[in-house]
Amino acid sequence: MTEPTPARPVLLTGASGALGRLLAGRLAREGRALVLTDLVEPAYALPAGTRFIAADLADREAVLRLGSDYSAILHFGAVSTERDFADIFRPNIAGAHHIFDLARASKARVIFASSNHAIGFSRRDVRLDEDCDLRPDGYYGLSKAYGELLARLYWDKHGLESLSLRIGSCVERPTELRHLSTWLSFDDLVRLVEAGLAHPTLGCRIVWGVSANTRAWWVPHDEIGMVVRDDAERFAGAVVAGAAEADPVSSRHQGGTFCASGYDREKFSPQELFGWRGTGQAMPSRTVE
Ligand code: 15L
């Protein structure tokens, strides 16, 4: 009798971060072969059945040395806050590029941790489908938009399957007003990742990484996005409006404080710059806000 071929492992980048830690523990529990990677070794005990390899995402050779026999790559490694472009470029942009090339070499699918900050300059009074315009709210959001477009390019050109999860606020529980719309529970994150790993015809998808929140701004159409079950509303009574809600730029846009970082548009009003004021001419609808 021949032994069954062991399943090819899943690679998890960003394993030392908060979401990496959560995924490592939860996915290993299912008995899945997992390889973890990050710049620095995790501060937690490695779950049974996992092993860790250190690698800098910005170092192409180090990434390609991670091996080429993965069934899937969960790409959660990145700088996760707004920073100067120079700090974002190497890990998030060059890093994503290296990971997608590793996925090509492995013939692996990629589950990419994108972010709501790729569409963060959308107003809070609009409801968005997955195919809405990209409206990054900073260099971090721009790097996530780049990752989504990289996924699209590698599907069209190389047939590489991917799921870009546009994650809202993946925290244990909502702590601010905005989270009542953007919250993604830990359980729902795991459900989304599992659904992406298991889907027989993944293709190239963008899916909202948000729980089934009563106040959600994002409308799921993709079946993968519909596996979520939790609702932030049960925490509504305990959530208070923080300082961010008093700031007009943060409170107007879905990306919140990321939008306010470095914002100076009001000093350079398009109405004045382009002479729209007083001409009686309607401003082009897609550029008004
Ligand atoms: C993100 O993408 C960030 O990584 C995280 O730090 C939060 O800011 C989150 O979005 C959010 O929008 O709440």
**pLDDT(7) > 70:** yes
Residue with tokens 């050109």: 157
| Ligand 1 contact, 205 CB (< 6 A) | no
Average pLDDT over the chain, rounded to an integer? 93
| Beta strands 72-75 and 50-54, pairing class | unpaired
Dihedral, 167, 118, 174, 243 alpha carbons, nearest 10: 170
Name the helix (H) or strand (E) containing 62.
Answer: helix 60-64
Mean pLDDT of 145-151: 98
| Ligand 1 contact, 169 CB (< 6 A) | yes
Centre of ligand 1 from the C-alpha of residue 81, in Å: 7
Q: 38-87 pLDDT, tens per residue? A: 999 999 999 999 999 999 999 999 999 999 999 999 999 999 999 999 99
**pLDDT (0 to 100) of residue 244:** 79
Centre of ligand 1 from the C-alpha of residue 274, in Å: 34
Reply yes or no on whether 140 is catalytic. Answer: yes
Ligand 1 atom 7: residue of nearest CA: 169
The percentage of the chain sitting over the pLDDT mark of 90, rounded to a whole number, equals 85
